[in-house]
Structure 1
Amino acid sequence: MALSVEPTIHYPDSDGQPMADNTRQFRWIVLLKENLECLFANDPNVFVAGDLLWYPVEGRPDIRVAPDVMVIFGRPKGDRGSYQQWLEAGITPQVVFEILSPGNRLTEMVKKLQFYDRHGVEEYYIYDPDLQELSILVRTPQGLDTVEMIDHWRSPRLGIEFVLGEDDLEVYYPDGRRFLTTIELAQQIKEAQQRAEQEAFRAQQETQRAEQEALRAQQETQRAEQEALRAEQETQRADRLAAYLRSQGIDPEQI
């Protein structure tokens, strides 16, 4: 009797959906993902991913979702084709972000909320950049619940702060620095380099001035030593002359 072989279950790395529907949505996804990468760059056990399929249940490739951005504490950094939770010590992504676009439907967002609630997400952020509306849900004993006071909200897990400005949402690092786009970061680095170059140039000028002052002081010392030597030589000549006059019976003080 032939042994039956169980078919291999395939967990696709792509759901065939685009990462973003427009440039604004994409810009926000990149802004959050890259700045969160920077925030936890020195912690090897915080994994940050963007548009990565998350499979929470082994054997069920149909149960999946790809958060725009997700943060998982307790998992090492590294490349993955998907996040298969049973291969990741069973750890659920603790924080997820969704950036809305005009193509997002209410039913889709309700399903995602139910998914994140069912599978243990601790913090769920939904931002609509067109309407500048931010929704925050955090886990309570009853499940994910809406946060009412969202302006200047500080994430319990991430430590970052959300500030609703007049024109846009702003996100800040725990130390107060604002999340920057790649262009802003490049400009900041360029300005820092320019300031460093200017400081180095000023330091070089100060060094040159100090060297010039030291050279002038050395020259003054040399001139003073030469004057002292000439004075000593004159004194010696006067002493010899006086000695000669005395040897001739002449009192030099009477001359």
Structure 2
Amino acid sequence: MRTLNKEELYKIYPSSDGKRMADNTLQWEWIALIKLGMDAVFKDRPDVFVAGDLLWYPVKGRIDIRVAPDVLIAIGAPKESRGSYIQFAENNLPPQVVVEILSPSNTAKEMEKKLAFYQTYGVEEYYIYDPIRFIFSVYARRTDTLVLQEISEEEWLSPILGVRWSMKNGILELFRPDGQPFLSYLELFDEQNTALEELEQQREEMKNKVQMLEEQERMILAQASRIEQEIKQFKQEKQRADHEQQRADHEQQRAEQEQQRAEQEQQRADQEKQRADHEKSEKEKLIQKLKELGIDPDAI
């Protein structure tokens, strides 16, 4: 027998049961928040399928056995579009996690039937939240039974999802494994606008900083130009001073040479005077000696 493809199966296993997805806006907002938040948690996992209000058929050939959880998560099922979740076409993999958001129309008998259904067909974690009466319940599988859990300190960390469910002041909050909260579209919109405003402020601050740096650069360049001019002037002054020093050294050298010549002339003059004085002294001695001998020096 030929195996039917999913499009053919969807004609046999209807994608709608004729019921509304949500009974009121509050219920719808919670369904959307959790479904889209789970999408974000598993955005990098191609093997995790998350759906909201999708009919789940757990038994082959039994279109009467079905339920549409407000949110279902099937880990191991490919992330692709579906008209319904037909379990035998998914390698007989049941959703491991389901979530129900209660509305005033939900009855205790209806919720008992859903608990029995999820217990029978392999759900491992079952979450129920009543956003009007602020009641939060968690069922986790223990062997073959979904057992109501005692939530320690009003928090529950899902072993399967890694998501933390927290009831503070009666309000349910969900946190991704990285600690970031699930946010609604409006919260994301406000957060994005805040981020854009901060980015614009950072851009304006950066622009002002760039202008300030450019002004500082102009001042530094002007100062560098002045310093360069002063260095140039200093070099010119130094060259002039060196030239003047060289000329002064030359003049001093010439003066020293003139002094040496004058000293040499003085030495020669002194020598001539000494010689003249010596000759005069010798002449006087000779005249004296001649007189002593009775000789008239003038007669000689």
TM range (shorter): 0.7 to 0.9
Q: Match for residue 5 of structure 1?
A: none
Q: Match for residue 212 of structure 1?
A: 215
Shift of 1:231: 3.3
Secondary structure of the residue aligned to 2:12 is: coil
Q: TM-score, normalised by structure 1?
A: 0.87
Aligned 1:234-249 pairs, distance under 5 A: 234-237=237-240
Q: CA RMSD in A?
A: 2.3
Q: Match for residue 129 of structure 2?
A: 127
Shift of 1:158: 0.9
Q: Deviations over 1:20-77 (max 9, x none)?
A: 0011111110110010000100111100000000011111111110000000000111
1:173 is the counterpart of 2:180:
no
1:59 to 58, 61, 64: 61
1:89 is the counterpart of 2:91:
yes
Q: TM-score, normalised by structure 2?
A: 0.75
Task: Call closer, same or farther: CA 1:121–1:231 in 2, change over 3 Å.
Answer: same
Equivalent position amino acid for 2:228 in 1: E
2:105 to 75, 80, 103: 103
1:197 is the counterpart of 2:189:
no
Q: Structure 2, unaligned stretches of length 5 or more?
A: 1-8, 256-300
Q: Which has the higher contact order (CA 8 A, sep 6+)?
A: 1
- Percent pairwise identity: 45
Q: Which has the larger radius of gyration?
A: 2
Secondary structure of the residue aligned to 1:91 is: coil
Partners of 1:77 and 1:111 lie apart in 2 by 29
Partners of 2:242 and 2:141 lie apart in 1 by 104
Partners of 1:235 and 1:147 lie apart in 2 by 93
Secondary structure of the residue aligned to 2:45 is: coil
Q: Deviations over 1:216-246 (max 9, x none)?
A: 1121111111122223334545666788898
Q: What is the number of residues matched between the two proteins?
A: 243
Partners of 1:110 and 1:243 lie apart in 2 by 115
Q: Match for residue 69 of structure 1?
A: 71
Q: Deviations over 1:165-200 (max 9, x none)?
A: 114111111222211111001111111122222223
Partners of 1:242 and 1:85 lie apart in 2 by 106
Secondary structure of the residue aligned to 2:166 is: strand
Q: Deviations over 1:121-151 (max 9, x none)?
A: 0000111111100111110114111102251
Q: Match for residue 4 of structure 1?
A: none
Equivalent position amino acid for 1:49 in 2: A
2:235 to 228, 232, 238: 232
2:226 to 223, 228, 238: 223
The answer to which structure has the higher helix fraction is 2
- Do 2:119 and 2:144's aligned partners in 1 also have CA atoms closer than 8 Å? no
Partners of 1:125 and 1:242 lie apart in 2 by 100
